[in-house]
Structure 1
């Protein structure tokens, strides 16, 4: 059995933690039997994802799960880790043209699940088209594990170096979120697809990356909408992958922290200057001393939990996460799907979860479009509308669907008896 370390904080939420979802809409109807065959080939390669959690004295360990996966024809999400999912921590299902991959954040993060997703798509499209396809993918059913692919970052021993991230005062908290005293049973989500060429052109013209461009524009939207003063700072909490910095670029396990990107409402800096500042902040964040500090912080929390006896006491220790609000908002860019020839068969891709307090944005890309899922714990769309207007003002082409009220189910781990 392998003890979960960096994913521990997702295992003790009150009443369970909501599923993470990647949904991929193809250009043709999904064939059930072909998907089952593709999954069978894929899980042979990613056999470590065929697992369940075993609880021992309040600690969780991964162990092999011999129960079958059921590839369902249904758009409905089921609780992970429970009987309905045969205790599995991933669930693959489909409806019409849309493929859903649900996974537990305690098992892995977005970057960690992507190789599995790419491989599943590769096998499915190969089976249904009969064509020999090209994909930048080392994860076929016959390939061996990559270096450190199953390595647990939480077991690393790192030099206790100091962090370099600046602390900010006057950080703005969205009133609609700060007023919410408890975690909601649902969230609100707006899907936005952005034309790649126009976003990349804007980013290039202002010396920004796509993620930095979105961070700046959404920060500006919040500042303008709420008429912030020069004493208030909008913070974009940008998810930053730590893998390369600690030599574990292939691990599927959780290995992410957040860099704080500030936007001061009264600042008259150009987009170029803001992008330059953000690039510098991210570069400093990725320095060895700070990467070590960030991962050591996660490891220290895990080690602290190891010293606490019993599930209930561990859950109480982590209760602060039940309704945590990350001011001002969160942005997570998983990256390019990098599908090669398969890209032409995919219409769209989205990634989301529910229950998070405040406002968070998940971002992922195909060749021709960037896909944003803007998730809120409130229904007011004023920040989204202001953001879309800024896209329009800057000649960034986009499409947007209407706001959805939705939820992804909480896991069933909390219903298991403590051993």
Structure 2
């Protein structure tokens, strides 16, 4: 049986692909050959991302591994009598780097059976990966290192390497091992407060329109942070309130509460900021129909209070203890949890690389867990939003822009496109 902290690679379904990615827009056109060189050089420093699916248990470990995680004749013929864990194992084949934005399937011949892949198009490039392997906090050091090596080669300049994880560095155990190995969970008790989930909430779907779409926005960091200070908010809370207000505007007559899931990083809450593994949690906000959202300060104060109650270390400790005891597993990708999900990957700078980067976004394959997904990033004194939805209509998106207008928030609409991200 896998350790509790090992990736659960099977958390996907035929309809829902558990993948995520980071998009970086540079100021100059991407050189694909340099990018390919960089991707292979980083294998030494980030071996845990250069993997394929293997099997452990069920009597097929070695043979299944040689098959690149694909079913062998033995397993097809029913000779495997015990269930096997799907685990990541090293993949010596090159990680693919393709000059197209069209998606491919990870864990397939197209991707050399890797669980990650790169792509580029004009000035932008993207890294996409099985979300079971890592989360936004875990993937960003890899992106920063890739940009460091790429821009060093592309510009011929020598940048200060402090803060970057580069080939030749020692890989610390805190980065790859059990992120909570020094914590004694035997005395951990149930936390003082646990929010009860709301199961019947407002849905933001269109039953006649299934074309997933993403909208890209740029907002001034200084104005957003000042607004948060004035309104007792934070970026997560502020955008949660704006998106909830947009939902009310979009579905005025719906009596159900709007629910917002804000992603959290249990590793960081418990003091580990290095580990690459996926230990994302969430806290839930609810906005009942009878709550007046016209007073944004009051709405932010209520929402922030809900957040603070749920992100205490005692909550994270108890959740990890449950995972260790196998009482809690990540939700299946087809279970609906909230109307909207908000995720903010912190880290406002790539240091000396900032002048060469125009935009950065996190994107995630939409699932039934949430209807609207808002991924927030920040670089070069600007917030960047990737607003993803499971339909092509711009009606909800325009409601969100209207809320920003009424709040006096400046924004720049950069682009929109169908959501194209690797499946698995």
Which category of TM-score, normalised to the shorter sequence, fits these structures? 0.7 to 0.9
Task: State the structure with bigger RCO (CA 8 A, min sep 6), 1 or 2.
Answer: 1
CA distance in 2, matches of 1:392, 1:335: 25
CA distance in 2, matches of 1:104, 1:386: 32
**1:323-356 CA distance string (max 9 Å, x none):** 3222221111112352012111111122213342
**1:282-332 CA distance string (max 9 Å, x none):** 23222232112223344455x788xxxxxxxxxxxx9x8343222221111
Task: Quote the residue 1:122 is aligned against.
Answer: 148
Question: Residues 359, 142 of structure 1: CA spacing in aligned structure 2 closer, same or farther, 3 A cutoff?
Answer: same
The structure with the greater share of residues assigned to helix is 1
Task: Quote the residue 2:266 is aligned against.
Answer: 242
**1:1-53 CA distance string (max 9 Å, x none):** 97675631754523672532211110101122322333233222112222211
CA drift of 1:213 comes to 0.8
CA drift of 1:253 comes to 0.6
Tell me which of 321, 340, 362 is aligned to 1:329: 340
Task: Quote the residue 2:310 is aligned against.
Answer: 285
Task: Quote the residue 2:76 is aligned against.
Answer: none
**1:336-381 CA distance string (max 9 Å, x none):** 3520121111111222133423211111111232121111122333
CA distance in 1, matches of 2:154, 2:420: 32
Note the residue ranges of structure 1 that are not aligned, 5 or more in a row: 306-317, 412-419
Task: Quote the residue 1:166 is aligned against.
Answer: 195
Tell me which of 267, 279, 288 is aligned to 1:264: 288
The question of whether the paired residues in 1 share the 8 Å contact of 2:210 and 2:392 is answered with no
CA drift of 1:111 comes to 1.3
Question: Residues 18, 77 of structure 1: CA spacing in aligned structure 2 closer, same or farther, 3 A cutoff?
Answer: farther
TM-score (norm 1): 0.83
CA distance in 1, matches of 2:415, 2:288: 30
Task: Quote the residue 2:111 is aligned against.
Answer: 85
Please report the RMSD computed on the Cα atoms of aligned residues, expressed in angstroms. Answer: 3.0
CA distance in 2, matches of 1:195, 1:337: 13
CA drift of 1:54 comes to 0.2
CA distance in 1, matches of 2:398, 2:16: 33
Greater CA drift, 33-42 or 255-264 = 33-42
- 2:208 paired with 1:197: no
Note the residue ranges of structure 2 that are not aligned, 5 or more in a row: 57-82
Question: Residues 95, 378 of structure 1: CA spacing in aligned structure 2 closer, same or farther, 3 A cutoff?
Answer: closer
Question: Residues 348, 225 of structure 1: CA spacing in aligned structure 2 closer, same or farther, 3 A cutoff?
Answer: same
> SS of the residue aligned with 2:23?
strand
Task: Quote the residue 2:298 is aligned against.
Answer: 273
CA distance in 1, matches of 2:227, 2:130: 35
**1:251-271 CA distance string (max 9 Å, x none):** 101111110122234334632
Greater CA drift, 370-379 or 98-107 = 370-379
1:17-36 correspondence to structure 2 within 5 Å: 17-36=17-36
Question: Residues 378, 54 of structure 1: CA spacing in aligned structure 2 closer, same or farther, 3 A cutoff?
Answer: same
